[in-house]
Amino acid sequence: MKLDVDVLRYLSKDDFRVLTAVELGMRNHEIVPTELIDRIARLKHGGTYKVLKYLLKHKLLHHDNSKYDGFRLTYLGYDFLAIKTMVNKGVFVAVGRQIGVGKESDIFEVACEDGTVLAMKLHRLGRVSFRAVKSKRDYLRHRSSYNWLYLSRLAALKEFAFMKALETHGFPVPNAVEHNRHCVVMSLIQGYPLVQVRQLQNPEIVFETIIGIVVRLAEHGLIHCDFNEFNIMIDDDEKITMIDFPQMVSVSHRNAQMYFDRDVECIFKFFRKRFNLSFQESLDDIDSSDEGRDESGKPCFSVIERSAGFLDRELAASGFTRKDEEDIQRFIEGGAESDTNSDSEGVDLVEDLNEADKIDGDSSHLLELDEGHGSQGKEESSEECENSGSGKEDASDKKESDMENEAEFVKSLSKQRRRAIAVAHRGRKTLASRNSYKDKGGRSSHNSKIQKQLSSW
């Protein structure tokens, strides 16, 4: 949908109030009922219905009355809410032309109050060209149902977090300014996508720079997963800047090596076709002692060590689990051996508890004995230890007496349970079944009337 910001200047406070009410209602509803929108917006004299009609005219809302009368936000209405929030914060004051279109986002120029030009990226997941989100992205995680607007918001939040972290670690990325909903505002890169470049003064240096970025990302614990000529910007001085980060994963991901090799292969393939770069010559220049590359000159994922940091842990990148974080903490603290022993003890305790749950009322009887008669139990055990050398007849007599005592305790416990259950049922209200109304005037009701008459006689 084309972003037409001319309508934005004519929207009133009530219009944005209704848009916000629809957004709040979409947390629990796919189609928000009209009555719920009216209750959330709280406009006077039935003004909600007039505003809904106006917003529907400008395609900020979508009307659906298949099951009930309701509305939902469109991407244009979501754009207006994000842009209005950015303007109120003073991030920018004007929206310019569209400078980029992707499979999951649109990029526009925006101008600040001092004249600085920034880039605004609006995530638009759910397009016809990109709908397999569950198989290609990890935004859903364990969710079975989802909303495209909510997924776009998660993608923007993830990209903003990655951009901020990479910028602090010195990676060539745009400067992240602000984000809201599915909108991310960043610095505008004065350059061109690498796919549009036909000639380079130093293609070998540019190639080595790009491969160095891929390896450095892996050393920090991250893999770009979409590192190709479309997501690499280059300026007139052949300075490299990488963009597009929502799909980044951890080096602990189960498919990390495949993603890493794919990124490297994309760069090799592009420079081989576009600039006729022969990698055999560059290999001859490299020392034979240079480790970390195979025979074809490609970096080996298995050789790369995570020596620079743990960005995947800080950003909770896909593939980095809590178990990995615990292992790292153990390694840092230097108590791996003691922790493994404690883990084995914990597993044994869990198994013992599971076995104890399977035991009948005898186990509960034994627990009550330990709690109520702990001192007596200790004395009896000490006496048994001292008289362990006595005859077998005394031991058999003790066992029989113990079995009789246990049987009595089990009976008493069962009686106590029955009494407790009866007391609990007395306090509850008897609930009638759903189909009780169907028997009105039937055989059961007729029998109850006869019983009442007999009791009165």
3-class SS string, 278-334 = CHHHHHHHCCCCCCCECCCCCECCCCCCCCCCCHHHHHCCECCCHHHHHHHHHHHHC
Tell me which residue of 319, 295, 291, 315 sits closest to 305, measured CA to CA.
Answer: 291
Tokens 């883990």 sit on residue = 343
Rounded distance between C-alpha atoms, residue 270 and residue 457, angstroms: 102
Residue 327: both structure tokens together: 């292992």
**β-strand partners of 32:** 71
Please report, as a single letter, which amino acid is at residue 431: L
Q: Are 25 and 36 in contact (CB under 8 A)?
A: yes
Active-site residue flag, 226: yes
Tokens 């970025």 sit on residue = 213
Rounded distance between C-alpha atoms, residue 301 and residue 73, angstroms: 44
Q: Are 229 and 293 in contact (CB under 8 A)?
A: no
Rounded distance between C-alpha atoms, residue 427 and residue 433, angstroms: 19
Rounded distance between C-alpha atoms, residue 86 and residue 93, angstroms: 8
Residue 381: both structure tokens together: 């055990």
User: From residue 114, how far is each of 68, 90, 181 by CA, in Å?
Assistant: 49, 11, 25
Q: Give the helix ranges, DSSP H, for 90-202.
A: 133-136, 148-168
In this structure, the number of other CB atoms found within 10 A of the CB of residue 296 comes to: 10
**β-strand partners of 242:** 232
Rounded distance between C-alpha atoms, residue 184 and residue 157, angstroms: 8
Catalytic residue among 79, 226, 263, 312: 226
Query: Which residues are catalytic, by number?
Result: 226
